[in-house]
Each structure stands twice: as C-alpha cells, then as structure tokens.
Structure 1
Amino acid sequence: MSFHLEPSATEAATSFIELAKTSAYAIGIKLVGALAMWVFGSWAVGLVDKLLGRSMKARKIEETIIRYVTAAVSAMLKIALAVGVLGYLGVQTTTFAALLGAAGVAIGMAWSGLLAHFAAGAFLVVLRPFKVGDFVEAGGVTGTIEEVGLFVTKINTPDNVLTMIGNSKVFSDTIKNYSSNRFRRVDLTAQLDHGADVPAAVELLKAAMAKIPNVVTDPKPDVEIVTFTLAGPVLAVRPYCHTDHYWQVYFETNAAIRNELGKAGFSVPKQHLAVLGPEGKKAA
C-alpha cells in the first residue's frame, strides 16, 4: 500500500521547511552579531579602564582611589553592555530592567552584608585612613595594604600571607596606621643588677643606639628607669625609626643591649630573696 501526500500538504511542508531555514538563518545572524557585540564591547570596556587608570595616574591620584573607581566603572559598563546585547537579541529591555530592579531588591535583602562591604569600601576610599603600601592594623590583621577592593581589603602580613578582610569589618573596627607618621618608637627594656651603675649604663646604651643604622636623631633615643624588680632597676630603651626599619632597629637594639652591657662588665642580674625563719630572722 502506498501513501501519497495531497498537493496542499506538500506545499505546507515545503513552506514550513523554508520558514525554518529562514528563521534559523536569522537567529544565527543575530547570535553571531550578539557575540561580536559582546567581544567588541568587552574590549572597549577594558580599553576604557586602561585609559581611565592612566589618566588618573597622570594626575597623581592615589592608587587606592584609582583601583576602586576603575573597578566600579568597569562593573557599570559591563552591565550596560549586557543590557545592550539582550536588546539586540530582541529581549524587551524595559522588562529586563524591571526584572533587574526586582532582582536587585531581592539580592539586596539576601546580600545585605555584601552591600555593606561595598558601602564601607566607598567610605574607605573617601576618608582615606590608609593607602596602598601603608603598614596598618585593621580588622584584627597587621600588615601592608595591597588593595582596597569593592568588597574586601587585601593585607599582606609580615609572614607573607595575603589576607582578605571584608570592608565593613575594616571600617567598623579600630584602624592603626603605622606609616602615617614620620617615625615610630621601638619599646625595649634592659634589666640591671641592684649594684649596677645606672647613669653609666644609660650613657652606654644611648651611645650604642646612636651607631645603629636608621635610628633617627630627632627625637633622640630615650633611656630611663621605668620600674624595679627583685633583680634590680629596669631601663626603658626607646629608639625611634621609620616603620620600614622597625624590626631591623628592634633586633639590633636588643643585640646592642646584650653586647654593650656585657663588654662594659655589668653583671648578670639575679633575683634577691630573703628566707625568714619562724621568728622573723633570716634562715641560716
């Protein structure tokens, strides 16, 4: 048994195939165009970022502000590019904008902490409690500022660990900037024996600190009696230096205390205890 299509059915099938080919061709052209638009747009956004960064650097704007502004501009341009590509593909951008707004509200409620980090980052850039390269204590972390991003601040710790802290934690916590002032004090102590010549020890340590590299002369190093222990008087030894040289001065001053007092014949401090008998007299 053979089947034959009626002429009208054959024409309908042919028409459907032609329509499918035409639609597929049109959709293919649209997709290729959208892809080209996205590639070119992404390249243009990158170019704008570079030009903006160079322009701000030429005006000697701080690196922290440059990174924050370029990141924000890049994010906005990419959103605009995505909307443009969707519009080219025939998606109703007004509907998309409404959906984006509704999604923004939902995301804002769900990611309130993330938005708080963003807002805190803006305040950090505006108020500028620190800049890239400063040695700080922020958010419970001590180290060198590497970057103030849109949501996190990157700090490289002295043991070379890159640590990322949420901007809201940084902004809401106490910030100590060790690089903002011209110099910093190094706090050390030197224990002396009860019979030690304190004035001689003071002059000896002052002269020793004057020879240590990177110790500033204004203000001059301090050497004073700070307290007393069972072993004898304790000297506060306080040279001043720039933050970049803090640990070098710290360790070399400690070495100078040990070496100079030893060379000068100062005895090793010992605790002095008196053991009393039942009648309050010293035990034999």
Structure 2
Amino acid sequence: MKDIDLDRVQEILVTAATDIGLKILAAIALWVIGRWLIGVSQKLIRVALEKQQFDPTLLRYVHSIVSITLNVLLVIGILGYFGIQTTSFAALLATAGIAIGAAWAGLLSNFAAGVFLIVLRPFKVGDVITASGITGTVKEIGIFSSTINTSDHIVTIIGNNKILSDNIQNFSSSEYRRVDLKYQISSATNPEEAIQLLQVKLSEIPKVLSEPPIEINILEFNLVGPVLAVRPYCNNADYWSVYFEVNRVMAKAFADAGYPTPMASQNMIVKQN
C-alpha cells in the first residue's frame, strides 16, 4: 500500500514538473517570438514614418512608446498563459502607477514637457539655442531630458521641464544672425573716417553678408574716446568665424591707417596761490 502511494506521489510530481517545465519552455518561446515580432513591428513602423519624412525626434518618441506598450502587452500575455489573472495584474499596475507618479512627480513633469516640446516645436535637433542659460547645438530631445553640445564641446543634459519653463532663444530659426561688437577708438581719431574705413574693410570679408547692410555707429563716449558699435550680419553657421575675423580686420585696419592707440588721459590743472 505504501509502495502504491509512493508511486502515486512520484507520478503526480513528475506530471506537475513536466507541466511546469513545458509551460516555462512555452513562456520562453513566447518571449523570444514576441520580442522578435516587436522588433519587426518597430522596424516596419520606423520605415513607414521615415518614408513620410517624420521628424527624427518624433520618430524616437513613437519608437519608445510603441516599444514600451508592446513589451507590457507581451508580459501580460505570458502571465495570462500561466493562469495569472491579468485583470488583477492590471489593477496592480494602475496602483503602482499612481504611487510611482506621486513619487516621481518631477520626472513625469519632464516627460510632459518633452511631449510639449515635440508638439510646440520651439526647436529641433541640430538647432543652436540658448535654454536654461546653456548655449549650444541640440543633439537630442529625449523623453525626460534634452542634450545640448556647447561650443566648447561639453555635453549638457537639461530636464525638459526646466527648458520649457524658461526662456528659449533659437538662433537657427532665421536665415542669418547679427554679430554685435564694440570697438574703442582714440579721442584723437576722427570717428567718421574710422566708420568709413571699417565699412570698406568689413565688406571685403567673404562671410559677411551684404544684405542686411553692415551697421557701424557711435555707441557712446568715455574718457578714452568714442566707442563704435560694429554690427555685421552673417549666416548662422559662420557666426564665430565672422566674430573673430571682424575683430582681426578692425585691429589691422586701424594699425595700417596709423590711428593712435586709445589710451585714457586726464588733464590736471594746478592752481598756485
């Protein structure tokens, strides 16, 4: 009798182990096949959106959302195969989502801001902007943060909520940009002659645009003499090269013309009793 019971227990254990093993193998197979199908679906969606010339940033958003949604559905399907009540699991996910949302309010605000950045489109990847006090080229607009590469090649990651809640300057939205410079001249120099000289010399710089015209005027006076406001225009990509070239040309033009070096001077009157 004991031998029969032992055989029965062994039979039950073997049957149960076999059943569990088969389910585990089936779950693994479902996971592998599901992941492969998800990859194929993402590729098809990406190809279709690229044919429609979707923005690369929006394409990454769609890719992320589709990936997360399909993976969650795959996990729920595998759990359902094991007999786990997916309705209870969905309720658990909803409860966990509320708790996580309360704990990660800042992170979710960054996510919401990222969605608005995509919808409102104040800038796109490749634009030169100033956001949250950082100036550089936009390399990526992510789900929670955006990446800006500054002119000195420092990669800066800024939360999307901070970007959207602050002022944004987009230098790439227009075709050209004005270079704002000041140049101090001596009080012994005729400012009108200096302005005419600079107009000629700066117009010879290849990357300086002829339209809009170069603006050169007297900005202010100080103890040294007049201060000129020098404002040429250039294409966005040529801003820094024009900035430095204009400074070089101004210094050389004044030196070649023999203009005196600007120096501060004061007249002292001494009265003797």
Instruction: State the TM-score, normalizing by the size of structure 2.
Output: 0.95
Q: Give, in whole Å, the separation in 1 of the partners of 2:40 and 2:242.
A: 46
**How far off is 1:120 after superposition?**
0.8
2:81 pairs, out of 88, 97, 105, with 88
**How far off is 1:275 after superposition?**
2.6
2:113 pairs, out of 120, 132, 140, with 120
Residue identity matched to 2:109: A
Name the residue aligned to 2:11: 18
Name the residue aligned to 1:220: 213
**How far off is 1:178 after superposition?**
0.7
Q: Give, in whole Å, the separation in 2 of the partners of 1:69 and 1:262.
A: 59
State how 1:101-250 maps to structure 2 within 5 Å.
101-250=94-243
Q: Give, in whole Å, the separation in 2 of the partners of 1:123 and 1:217.
A: 38
Q: Give the gaps of 5 or more residues in structure 1.
A: 1-7
1:64 match: secondary structure: helix
- Indicate yes or no: 2:65 matched with 1:51: no
Name the residue aligned to 2:29: 36
1:68 pairs, out of 53, 61, 66, with 61
CA change 1:125–1:213 in 2 (3 A) is same
Moved more, 22-31 or 179-188: 22-31
For the 8 Å contact 1:64–1:132, the answer to whether it is kept is yes
2:140 match: secondary structure: strand
Residue identity matched to 1:87: G
**How far off is 1:188 after superposition?**
0.8
**How far off is 1:273 after superposition?**
0.8
- Bigger radius of gyration, 1 or 2? 1
**How far off is 1:90 after superposition?**
2.0
CA change 1:213–1:75 in 2 (3 A) is farther
- Indicate yes or no: 2:259 matched with 1:266: yes
Q: Give, in whole Å, the separation in 2 of the partners of 1:185 and 1:193.
A: 25
| Cα RMSD, aligned residues only | 1.4
CA change 1:235–1:169 in 2 (3 A) is same
Moved more, 245-254 or 158-167: 158-167
Q: Give, in whole Å, the separation in 2 of the partners of 1:131 and 1:73.
A: 22
